Amino acid sequence: MNLKEQMKDAIISLMDQNKKNKFLKNTVELRCKCGFSEKITYFDFLSGGEFEIGKPTRTVSPFISESIYEETISVTPLMLSRKCSSCGEIIVTVFPISLENIIPMLRSGPPDLLMYG
């Protein structure tokens, strides 16, 4: 199993543990270029395992640091592709929270290597 699959599995099992988490009732809008749109909850987005883990990008940390070196953090998008139920085109939606942020939000235990993978 590669790292992406491990992360995906980790998210799916965390979703299982967070079924009652109110935060996951927030919605994401899927909008097609034909004008069709639908809303799904964070839970629906992540729990079905339909999402894909995107390519991580490096970005400068938003936290002010006193170190001399610029700190960069990794941001990995989570994306969902769904067929538009109106025109049949594929709608690709990016989850509003990056992989690096959603995992600690869902995890109640101490952090482990996955967060830093």
- Chain residues binding Zn ion by CB under 5 A are 32, 34, 36, 84, 86-87, 89
Among 10, 29, 41, 42, which residue's Cα sits nearest to residue 92? 29
Q: How many residues does the chain have?
A: 117
Q: How far is the CB of 86 from Zn ion (least distance, A)?
A: 4
Nearer to Zn ion, 4 or 82 (CB): 82
CA atoms within 13 A on the CB side of 11: 26
Q: How far is the CB of 82 from Zn ion (least distance, A)?
A: 10
At closest approach, how far in Å is the CB of 114 from Zn ion? 36
Q: How far is CA 113 from CA 3, 30, 44, 81, 116, in A?
A: 11, 32, 26, 28, 5
Shortest separation between residue 45's beta carbon and Zn ion, angstroms: 18
* Cβ proximity to Zn ion, 13 vs 86, nearer residue: 86
Closer Cβ to Zn ion, 29 or 112, answer by number: 29
Q: What does DSSP assign to residue 50?
A: -
